[in-house]
Amino acid sequence: MVKFCCCLKQLNLDRLLARMWEEMGLVRVYTKPQGQQPDFDEPFVLSADRGGCTVEDFCNHVHKTLVKDMKYALVWGRSARHYPQHCGLSHRLEDEDVVQIVKKKEREEGGRGRFKTHSNAPARIADREKKAPLKQ
């Protein structure tokens, strides 16, 4: 009988704790590094009343420059329609969601896309060295 009462007390405290999280409007968000398992040990705690619960608020909570570097976010959890869902900054996060931030690639100098210059040759044709004419 004593074991049953202890289990019942623990169950009631778990329900009370869950109810407190709901009433206070707190949201736990877990991080997932690329290529690794999610880190369920230390969640980021966001508040709907104070800061908000969007991906942008999460990025600002992690680091203030992360919003500028973010390309998109991958979200797993109740707020996602499918796993993983590509999301932008305005996506609303729910309790115990898992978020992976994908950052923009750093730009390389010397052009864009497939028109990048990969050689050290002069840009103008007139500035290139003249080669000897072919012998016949």
The pLDDT tens digits of the residues spanning 13-70 come to: 888 888 888 888 899 999 999 999 998 999 999 987 777 899 999 999 999 899 999 9
Contacts of 28 (CB under 8 A, 6+ apart): 21, 43, 44, 45, 95, 96
> In the beta sheet, which residues pair with residue 70?
103
Tally the C-alpha atoms within 13 A of residue 2's C-alpha that lie toward its C-beta. Answer: 0
* CATH hierarchy code of domain 19-106: 3.10.20.30
Say what the pTM is.
0.67
